[in-house]
Homo-oligomer: A and B are copies of this chain.
Amino acid sequence: MKYEAVTIKDIAKVLNLSTSTVSRALRDSYEISAETKKLVIEYAEKINYRPNPIALSLKERRTRSLGIIVCEIANSFFSQVIDGIESVAYSRGYNVTFLQSHESFDKEKLSLEYLASRSVDGLLISVSTETQDFSHLTQLSNRGFPIVFFDRIVDEIDTHKVIVNNFKGVYTATTHLTEKGYKRIAYIANSEFLTLTKDRLNGYKKALGEADIEIDESLIKYCNHGGMINDEVEKVLDEIFASKKKPDAIFASSDKLTTGCLHYFKKHNIKVPKNVALVGFSNNENSDLFNPSLTVIKQPAMEMGEIATNYLLELIESKRPIKDFETRILDTEFIVREST
């Protein structure tokens, strides 16, 4: 079934006017008499006329919509970021199209192609854990397509970026663990391809160094699919707990990895914090309800989305090319609870 919406032509035909007159009347042009304006506006109101945004987009060569690519929206951190993005975007007259990469490089590339082929005016992206090759992004960026990175950024591409102070966040959390007397602290990292993974690892190493704890590489494990692949977390935890010298604490580098650890502990009847302490990145709004309640590093997700969107709109709406790019670094929040 075809849904036929009313157009300016329909109005013109009924009122015996040209489409130009109708258009000008609706836009309150000085060239149109008050009488005609009233006629047109009232009739348009009556039949509930709405201009076709597609036609406008074609004419104005802009869509007034933004593209967002994240790994998945069923994730407390990203859905909070999206809340922030949406609120700014809508208040500035833009709408928003989301795509999920599900941590797949191929899906990310396809989504990007689609969005950049003129269905959005700009892009907000947090790259997938698989992404090592940035050429798809570099090309677009070089041709002047507005892109802003948040959370999982790409160092090689020069544009606005919004991240948290990953180094400091992890340094604080790890120091908290060493001060509590934990000695064998495992690090369950996200994909090794993400820049934030390196930053976080550095924070971890610095804290251990200051506590005179030697770094044991066997306690550092990467989850290159961010915990999206079956048993990814289980596998690395199996390895860690199979060793003779078991860890006494675990640091988990993302929401998904943190809850992944908890599920593993529950399954294997490992008590937290009695057998092992746990601290991780998490924006889960219910992490205080967990058993035990979680000590977490929390990111200002909503704010991140807002700032990133403002950056993007600046790029889009600027009359001249912007060459001075900023990287905004937000502070994390460290919340101590029962798990440590």
Q: Which residues of A pack against B, CB within 8 Å? A: 1-5, 48, 50-55, 57-58, 61, 63, 65, 72-76, 79-80, 82-83, 86, 95-100, 113-114, 116-119, 139, 143-146, 259, 262-263, 266, 284-286, 288-293, 315, 318-322
Contact = CB atoms under 8 A, between A and B. Distances in A.
A126 B148 CA distance: 31
Contacts of A76: 74
Contact of A73 (B54, B73, B118): B73
A56 to B, nearest CB: 9
Contact of A2 (B3, B61, B73): B61
B289 A52 contact: no
A325 B3 CA distance: 17
A74 B63 contact: no
B291 A53 contact: no
A91 B37 CA distance: 46
Contacts of A118: 5, 50, 52-54
Given A99-B95, A144-B4, A73 B79 contact: yes
Query: How many copies, total?
Result: 2
Contacts of A291: 289-293
Contacts of A97: 65, 95-97
Nearest to A5: B118
B285 A259 contact: yes
- Top 8 A-B residue pairs of the complex, sorted by shortest distance between their CB atoms: A291-B291, A74-B79, A50-B117, A1-B321, A3-B144, A3-B145, A54-B57, A289-B290
A114 B74 CA distance: 25
Contact of A289 (B96, B116, B143, B263): B263
Nearest to A64: B119
A114 B100 CA distance: 23
A307 to B, nearest CB: 18
Contact of A146 (B3, B114, B315): B3
A86 B100 contact: yes
B146 A1 contact: yes
B2 A51 contact: no
13 contacts: A1-B146, A1-B322, A48-B139, A50-B116, A65-B97, A75-B79, A86-B100, A95-B97, A262-B286, A262-B289, A263-B289, A266-B288, A291-B291
